[in-house]
């Protein structure tokens, strides 16, 4: 398990949403059939297998705090992290001074754009020369670090800053670590063979044994 110190910026995590979901999945039906000993020619339970695959991936992503296949995400903020007491007394009182913005989803893969909106909702795309993208470690939240000379244009009161970024190991199942993939197959197989037995996601994770593999990739804030 990877433990990351909680930042004041973590409150912004709730201000983001996925705008583009992947079409690929980290595990597939045929391999799961082999895992379960179901002949590939037997298609009678394909619908159920697809459902447990989707459930296993969702539970695994929640458990680890990571996206496995690349998702496109929109993060909205009300203000910059280096606001003055006049601009935002509450934020300033919390000690939010750093000139960077954390990307709340792991592993951050790419920043596509940073846009501000003024009081008339007119967009302004911030030049990439105004910031540095820090994505050097998949186990640490990515950062957008702004240059000392960067000066913000006027922004509106709510959601005046918009960051579009991607999070995930890659676009294909082959990009996902083998420990994650094996853990997801264990979880999916358990869900298929023990339908209705689990008492919640945590219970499924423990009883399937998938936690023994996925805990390596789990990130917890303190």
Structural domain count, the chain: 2
Range of the domain at 150: 71-167
The answer to whether residues 200 and 159 belong to one domain is no
Instruction: Answer yes or no: is pLDDT of 14 > 50.
Output: no
Does some domain include residue 4? no
Average pLDDT, the chain: 86
The answer to whether residues 47 and 95 belong to one domain is no
Does some domain include residue 10? no
Q: pLDDT digits over 189-220, tens only?
A: 999 998 877 777 788 889 889 999 999 998 86
The answer to whether residues 112 and 152 belong to one domain is yes
**For position 97, what pLDDT does the model report?**
53
**For position 5, what pLDDT does the model report?**
37
The answer to whether residues 103 and 153 belong to one domain is yes
Spatial separation of the C-alpha atoms in residues 179 and 195, rounded to whole Å: 24
The answer to whether residues 59 and 96 belong to one domain is no
The answer to whether residues 200 and 112 belong to one domain is no
Instruction: Answer yes or no: is pLDDT of 1 > 50.
Output: no
Tokens 């999916």 appear where? 188
Instruction: Answer yes or no: is pLDDT of 2 > 70.
Output: no
Does some domain include residue 9? no
The answer to whether residues 75 and 157 belong to one domain is yes
The answer to whether residues 147 and 96 belong to one domain is yes
What mean pLDDT comes out for the span 111-116?
96
What mean pLDDT comes out for the span 125-152?
90
pTM: 0.81
The answer to whether residues 132 and 176 belong to one domain is no
Q: pLDDT digits over 165-195, tens only?
A: 999 999 999 999 999 999 999 999 999 998 8
Percent of the chain with pLDDT over 90: 64
* Cα dihedral across residues 53, 39, 37, 172: positive or negative: negative
The answer to whether residues 102 and 158 belong to one domain is yes
72, β-bridge pairs? 20, 166
pLDDT band at 47 (very low <50, low <70, confident <90, very high): very high
CA distances for 5 relative to 26, 104, 164, 207, angstroms: 29, 13, 24, 29
**For position 161, what pLDDT does the model report?**
93
The answer to whether residues 100 and 153 belong to one domain is yes
Does some domain include residue 17? no
The answer to whether residues 123 and 200 belong to one domain is no
């Amino acid at each position: 398990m990877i433990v990351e110190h909680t930042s004041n910026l973590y409150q912004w995590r709730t201000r983001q949403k996925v705008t583009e979901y992947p079409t690929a999945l980290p595990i597939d039906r045929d391999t799961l059939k082999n895992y379960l000993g179901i002949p590939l020619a037997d298609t009678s339970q394909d619908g159920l297998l697809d459902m447990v695959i989707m459930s296993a991936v969702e539970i695994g992503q929640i458990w680890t705090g990571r996206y496995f296949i690349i998702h496109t995400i929109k993060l909205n903020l009300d203000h910059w992290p280096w606001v003055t007491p006049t601009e935002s007394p509450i934020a300033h009182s919390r000690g939010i001074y750093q000139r960077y913005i954390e990307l709340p989803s792991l592993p951050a893969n790419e920043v596509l754009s940073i846009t501000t909106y003024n009081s008339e909702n007119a967009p302004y795309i911030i030049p990439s020369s105004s910031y540095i993208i820090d994505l050097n470690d998949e186990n640490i939240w990515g950062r957008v670090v702004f240059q000392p000379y960067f000066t913000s244009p006027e922004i509106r009161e709510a959601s005046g800053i918009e960051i579009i970024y991607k999070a995930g190991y890659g676009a294909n199942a082959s990009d996902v670590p083998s420990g994650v993939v094996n853990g997801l197959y264990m979880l999916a197989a358990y869900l298929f063979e023990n339908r209705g037995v689990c008492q919640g996601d945590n219970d499924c994770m423990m009883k399937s044994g998938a936690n023994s593999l996925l805990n390596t990739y789990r990130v917890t804030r303190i």
